[in-house]
Each structure stands twice: as C-alpha cells, then as structure tokens.
A and B are shown apart, each in its own frame.
Chain A
Amino acid sequence: MSIESSTAEPLSFEPDEYGHFGPYGGTYVSETLIHALDELKEAYFRWRSDDEFMARFDSDLANYVGRPSPLYFAKRLTEVAGGARILLKREDLNHTGAHKINNTVGQALLAHHMGKTRIIAETGAGQHGVASATVAARLGKSCVVYMGEVDIHRQAINVFRMKLLGAEVRPVTSGSQTLKDALNEAMRDWVTNIDDTFYIIGTVAGPHPYPVMVRDFNAVVGREARKQMLKQYEALPDVLVACVGGGSNAMGLFHPFIADDDVRMIGVEAAGKGLHTKHHAASLCAGRPGVLHGCRTYLMDDDSGQIEHTHSVSAGLDYPGVGPEHAWLKDTGRAEYVGVTDDEAMEAFHQLTRLEGILPALESSHAVAYGMRLAAEMRPDQTVLINLSGRGDKDVQTVAELEGITL
C-alpha cells in the first residue's frame, strides 16, 4: 500500500501573510500571543517544505493512523436514495475513529520539532481531545484537554478514553459550557504557559496559521479521495458533501478539489431544531461576519455582538463560528452551505447503520442526510461523495437517551 506524498502539489487558495482569506481570517488575538503565533508560523511554513518532516508525517498517517482510508460504494444506501451513486470516504476507520487524528499527528510532530513539552487542546465531541491525548501519549508529552461541562456529560465515553490515555480533562463551567468556552479556556492556558506549551487547535478556525495548517494536515482526505476517484471510477465526483462545525473535515476534503470547477462542494451545517428557530449552529447559513477566537468569520451573535448559545444534537457541530476559509468559499460561491436538522441527522444515522452496517458519528450523519437527499435528485451516472468523518460509537449513549432507551 503506497501513500501519496503530502508535498506532491502546490497548495492553492493561500491566505496573505497575516492569514486573510479575502476579508476573513487574520490574527485577532491579544498581544501576548502574537509572538507565539509568529514562532508557530515560522516553524510550520519551514517544516511544511521539509522533505524529511513530511515523510515522517506521511509515514505516521500510513502506519499509525491506517491511511489511506477506503472510498466505499454504499450500494444499498444508493438504492434507497434512488438517484446518484453514493460513495463514502471512510474517515471513521482511522485510528481513534475520525479525521481529527490527521491534524493532531501533524501538529504533535510540529510541537516535537519546536521543543514544546506540554500539549493542550479544546474539544467538543471529544474526538479532537481523544486524538490529541493519543498523540501526546505516543510522544510522551503531558496533555490537558479543556471540555465544556455540558459536553463532558454528553460524551462521557470519550472523557474516559482521554483519561485512559493519560490526559487531564479540565471541565469548563463558564458561558455555555460547550466547545466555544473550551476554546476560550485553552487560550487562557496558552497565554499563561506560552513558553513550553503547544496548543493543538482541532479545527480550521482560530488565528493564523491554524486555519491553513489544520486544513493542510487534513487535506490528505481530499488528495486520497481525488486519487481514488480517478483510479476506481476514472472520473471526479459531481458533488462533495461534508458536515461543517468548525469545518476541518470539510476543508480537508474540499481543498484538493478547489481547482476542479465542475466539482460542487457542499458543506452541511447543524440546523438543530430548524434554521427558523434560535436553536441551531449554522453560522454560514444563518449568521453574519464578525470576530471570534482569533479570526474574522461568519458567526452567530446577537445585535450587541454577544456570541449566541448554539444547539446541535452533535457536540462536534455545536459551535457558533466556522473556519474563515469556509466564509470565503461561501462568499466567492465556490462552495455552498446548507443546514440539516437534528431529526434529519438522526434518521440518516439509523439508515446508514441499518443499510450498510456502518454506525456514523452524529456529526457525519448530517452529511449523510444531505447527501442522500441530493442524490435522489441526481442521475444514476452521477456521483455524490460524502465524507464520513467519524464513527458513531461515542454517540450511542446520546442516541439511546434521545429515543428514551435506558442502557
């Protein structure tokens, strides 16, 4: 099994030197963090073009993560949808169960090269926390994961996994006690322990260079998918579909296809109880540009500029902002963004489980729901490629509770 080199093609759609994608992105942080971000930028852009570093990254992805992940034809799902062929990019089969590990392997390697001994991370669903704790354990570094108190309750299994891996999980009780507050707390830790600490951000948001770095480390998903399409089907897909919370799995899939103008790219946000209600997390569909967590992007706030509490059945999508490159892809029209409700995602969760024997994460179930709906309107000779960004083992408790089942 060979793995494509991560340095094979030049990266397009690069931001400017301060990390601006059009009017979005940038470096909106307090002065104390600027120097740390400059160091990180310098290190990242140096190591990104270092053959030995990238060979080590590729080797870790192959031998530790288990890449490449398969591109799977979901035959029965396709039949039920009744239209275009549905393919699933199986990121759920990665070590630790989601695409999140791609990025943490890359950032941990960077932390190691920068001589940082302590890892911190924020997490919502717990997948990024687990992935961070995993790479910290492997490199023998101490690890603190910040997690909202609300998320700690709904993702108890992942909390225990992180503890088994030797990480300390610190509950965050401020604000809405979810992902955004965990991010605030991680930034407070970073500014306090800036000399020895590497902050592994789990999504394509935050200050420059995080959006571009996290995208690059996840772009292996899109590079593989593109290559697999050409090899297995001798064509590119007609549509890419991926769920968007912060947007790292979607950005990883989309990025290598950006120059392929005929490939539609659709990001699926959490519409929660409906976009017409206040209970959703769809910042691109229903938000507006503002500044949060180090970057300018679409976000959900009230008329005073206070960040709103969001809602989604999936903790990983329950975030009021989104990566700035998505904001730019939206405004430029290169990608489209839609919403899928809790109920629709739950239905897709069950359909994929029963039809294909694949238990998807609730986050990924949003993409499955929209992919099926879209496929139904398309021709059988067309292809919808859905990023199955994670597996649903962590969500069984949530699903049981929602359906009134006591385990």
Chain B
Amino acid sequence: MKNRIDSRFEALAAAGRTALIPFVTAGDPDPAWTVSVLHALVDSGADVLELGVPFSDPSADGPVIQAASERAISRGVNLRRVLEYVREFRRKDSETPVVLMGYLNPIERYGYADFAQDAAGSGVDGILMVDCPPEEMENLRGDLDDHGIFPICLVAPTTTEARMDAIAAQARGYLYYVSFKGITGANRLEESSLVDPVRILRSHSKLPLAVGFGIKSPESASAVAGLADGVVIGSALIAALEGADSEQDACARAANFLAPIREAMDNSHS
C-alpha cells in the first residue's frame, strides 16, 4: 500500500498547493478532545498532522511544548494511548497522513518491532524522533520499513552539505527543515534567511521540503509557503488551545487558529 504521505504531497504538488502541517501534543489540553481536535484541524485546512508523543525530558522543545507534554503525562497519556487516538481518528479519516513526533525512549520501552506493527495497524504513516539522527536509526529502520512507516528526518541550519546527502539517503516522505538554531517556539525566524538553505537543500534531495520552528502567524506562514512545500506550526497552535474549557471550544480554537493561516498560504500562490 502506498504511504499516505507520498499520496498527499503528490496531490498537493499537482494542485500547486503548499502543505499545512499543524503539530499538537497528544492528550493536551484534554485527552478526550484530541481526536476531535485533529478532525477540526483537517476541516480547517491541515494536509498532514504531526502528533506529539509526550516525553518527560523534551530537551529540544521550548516552554510551550514542554508544558503541554507535562500536562499530557500527568493525565496518563503515553505512546499506547497515542496509538489509540490515531486508530480512532482513522475511523473517519483514512486519507490525512499522521506523523508521530517525539523522543526515542518511549519507543525503546515499547519495543521497536511491536511499536512498528502497532503503529502501522493504528494508521500511523511516519515518525519523527527528534533525538534519533540517521546514524542511530539503523535498528529501528528495519522495523519501520517492514510496516511501511516513513522515518521523517530533520535538517538544520548547521547541517553540512555532505550530511544533507546522507540524510536524504535515509529520509522518506518529506524533509523537515528546522528554520533556526534553537528550540521549538522561539521567536527567531526571519523568512529571508530561508532562501539560501532551501535552495541548497533542494539540490541534495527531491523530497518535499517542510519548514518548521518559529512560524506563528498567517503572515510568516504565507512567506514560508512561497519557498517550501510544507509549513509546520506547533507551539503557537498549542498556545491557542491552552485554556479551552470544552471539546467544542478546543475545536473552535483550532479552527479559528488554522483557517486564516490556510487562507494566507493559499493566497501567497495566487
């Protein structure tokens, strides 16, 4: 079966659209609302979903995602539950790709082979483990391949060109370009600084290129959409969901946050 990520990016390319990729931490603000929030995001223009697997020691994340992880863990959310959310999401949506994003230790504890099998069975299409660079992925890679799950790889401003080739050789689905040196949610993105790295990266890989870290507004999303094949938005969305007092409220907040971004991105192409 073809991976949904490939199908989605092919369709977007044909339509001349840039992928909108929201990130939410699974189980935050409330575990019972996560699946509805995911549907709301799709209804408001999301093309790919990144679902954060909460981890106790998120050393690459800023305060917003740290706090979201802590809240989710305190409500009993773990990798097994995250897979259940995806399974439930798939009952109504069999097309939107879902990528799990997080840190390696929960998968270590689950067991690579068991995880790959259960994740594929739940409808997961890719995983992005922040603390697992291609060098350390060898053992996990075999299990992912067996079940058709894509490893999504990061490229950073500090990544050398030689290394871009090595990463491109391992990566599937899309490349995730980290827009600046720093942690998630920091306020340091200057869109103009993306022009050169994106051009260089494209000369090393034919994969679709998504850009994330620091994109907070319709304006910045629209600017990045002019350069990249995908725009990832995480911390700003999580902050928008914070304080929601009901499932309905959370879905409304998700929609109100994402719809203007979708609109701005689509207009940047016209």
B135 touches A27 (CB 8 A): yes
Asked whether B49 is an interface residue with its Cβ less than 8 Å from the other chain, the reply is no
Check A32 for interface membership: any CB of B closer than 8 A.
yes
Number of B residues with CB within 8 Å of any CB on chain A: 44
Interface residues of B in 171-192 (CB under 8 A from A): 178, 181-183, 186
B141-159 at interface with A (beta carbon < 8 Å): 153-159
Name the residue of chain B whose CB is nearest to the CB of A321.
B57
Contacts A28-B132, A290-B105, A305-B105 hold; do A34 and B78 have CB atoms under 8 A apart?
A: no
The 8 A CB mask of A338-360 against B (1 = contact, 0 = none) is 00000000000000000000000
Instruction: Report the Cα distance A289→B59, complex, angstroms.
Output: 19
B183:A306 contact, CB within 8 angstroms: no
Q: Which residues on the A side are within 8 Å of B56 (C-beta)?
A: 175, 306-307
Taking CB as reference atom, which chain B residue is nearest A195? B181
Interface string of A164-198 (1 = CB under 8 A from B): 00000000001100001101100110011111000
Among B2-10, B106-114, B219-227, which stretch is in contact with chain A? Answer: B106-114
Per the bound structure, the CA–CA distance linking A174 and B159 in Å amounts to 29
Say if the beta carbon of B58 comes within 8 Å of chain A.
Answer: yes
Given A27-B135, A175-B57, verify A34-B158 contact (CB < 8 Å).
yes
Within 8 A of A (CB), among B5-64: 55-63
- Which of B105, B163, B181 is within 8 Å of A34, CB to CB? B163
User: CA A29 – CA B135 in complex, angstroms?
Assistant: 10
- Report B73 CB to chain A, min CB distance, Å: 6
Chain B residues whose C-beta falls within 8 Å of the C-beta of A175 in the assembled complex: 56-57, 70
| A352 shortest CB reach to chain B, Å | 35
B232 CB → nearest A CB, Å: 14
Interface of B is mostly: loop
- Contact partner of A192 (CB less than 8 A), chosen from B78, B130, B186, is B186
Residue A403 lies at the interface, judged by CB distance under 8 Å to chain B: no
Let me know if A32 and B135 touch, CB within 8 A: no
Q: Nearest Cβ distance between residue A287 and chain B, in whole angstroms?
A: 12
Q: Separation in Å of the B100 CB from the closest CB of chain A?
A: 13
**Contact status B182-A191, CB under 8 Å:** yes
Contact for B79 among A31, A184, A304, CB less than 8 A:
A304
Per-position binary interface string of chain A over residues 288-315, scored 1 when its CB falls under 8 Å from any chain B CB and 0 otherwise = 0111111000010101111100000000
Cα distance A125–B163 when bound, in Å? 38
A292 touching B57 in the complex, CB below 8 Å, given contacts A27-B135, A32-B158, A305-B107: yes
Q: Across the interface, do B108 and A31 meet the contact criterion of CB distance under 8 Å?
A: no
Q: Is B235 an interface residue (CB 8 A)?
A: no
Q: For A35, what are the chain B residues with a Cβ–Cβ distance below 8 Å?
A: 156, 158-160, 163
Judge whether B96 is part of the interface by a CB distance below 8 angstroms.
no
Q: A34 vs B160: C-alpha distance in the bound complex, in angstroms? A: 10
Assembly CA distance A95 to B135 (angstroms): 40
A/B pair count, beta carbons within 8 Å: 124
Contact B109–A290 (Cβ < 8 Å):
yes
Residue B240 CB within 8 A of the other chain: no
A34–B166 Cα distance when bound, in Å, is 13
Residues in B neighbouring A18, C-beta threshold 8 A: 135-136
Complex Cα–Cα for A18 and B80 (A): 31
A54 at the interface (CB under 8 A from B): no
A63 at the interface (CB under 8 A from B): no
Which residues of A from 31 to 53 have beta carbons under 8 Å from B? 31-36
Q: Does A26 contact B (CB under 8 A)?
A: yes
Cβ–Cβ contact B131 & A301, under 8 A: no
Which residues does chain A contribute within 8 Å of B155, judged by CB atoms? 31
In the bound assembly, the distance between CA atoms of A184 and B60 in angstroms comes to 8
Assembly CA distance A34 to B66 (angstroms): 22
Most chain A CB neighbours (cut-off 10 Å) among B104, B131, B167? B131
CB-defined contacts of B163 to chain A, threshold 8 Å: 34-35
A301 touches B159 (CB 8 A): no
Q: Counting CB contacts under 8 A, is B121 at the interface? A: no
User: Which of chain A's residues have a CB closer than 8 A to the CB of B243?
Assistant: none
User: Across the interface, do B182 and A34 meet the contact criterion of CB distance under 8 Å?
Assistant: no
In the complex, what residues of B have CB within 8 A of residue A301's CB?
A: 105, 109
Q: Using A27-B135, A30-B130, A30-B131 as known contacts, say yes or no to A183 and B108 having CB atoms under 8 A apart.
A: no
Contact of B109 among A31, A32, A193, A304 (CB under 8 A): A304
* B59–A183 touching, CB < 8 Å: yes
**Closest approach, in angstroms, between the C-beta of A321 and any C-beta of chain B?**
10
**Contact (A29, B156) CB under 8 Å given A192-B186, A291-B104, A306-B55:** no
A205-B103 Cα distance, complex, nearest whole Å: 18
Mask: chain A, 1-44; 1 = CB below 8 Å from B; 0 = not? 00000000000000000100000001111111111100000000
The CA-CA distance from A305 to B103 in the complex, in Å, is 10
Say how far B105's CB is from chain A's closest CB, in angstroms: 4
Once the chains are docked, how many angstroms separate the CA of A86 from the CA of B130?
A: 47
A142 to B62, CA, bound (A): 23
Contact check, B57 vs A293: say whether CB atoms are below 8 A apart. Answer: yes
User: A291 — which chain B residues lie within 8 A by C-beta?
Assistant: 103-105, 108, 131-132
Q: Are B109 and A303 in contact (CB under 8 A)?
A: yes
Which residue of A has the minimal Cβ distance to B77?
A304
Q: Which residue of B lies closest to A308 (CB)?
A: B56
B110 lies within 8 A of A305 (CB): yes
Q: Decide yes or no: A184 and B59 within 8 Å by CB, A36-B158, A191-B183 being known contacts.
A: yes
Beta-carbon contact of A32 and B181 below 8 Å? yes
**Interface residues in A240-296 (C-beta closer than 8 Å to B):** 289-294
The answer for the CA separation of A26 and B140 in the assembled complex, in Å, is: 15
User: Of all chain A residues, which has the CB nearest B81?
Assistant: A304
22 contacts between A and B (CB under 8 A): A18-B135, A18-B136, A31-B153, A31-B154, A31-B167, A32-B181, A35-B163, A175-B70, A188-B62, A192-B182, A194-B181, A289-B108, A290-B108, A290-B109, A291-B103, A291-B105, A291-B131, A293-B59, A304-B79, A305-B55, A305-B110, A306-B73
Sorted nearest first, the 3 A-B pairs with minimum C-beta distance are A304-B78, A305-B109, A305-B106
Known contacts A30-B133, A290-B109, A292-B57; 13 additional CB pairs below 8 A are A28-B133, A31-B153, A31-B155, A32-B181, A34-B158, A34-B163, A35-B160, A175-B70, A183-B59, A192-B186, A303-B109, A305-B108, A306-B56
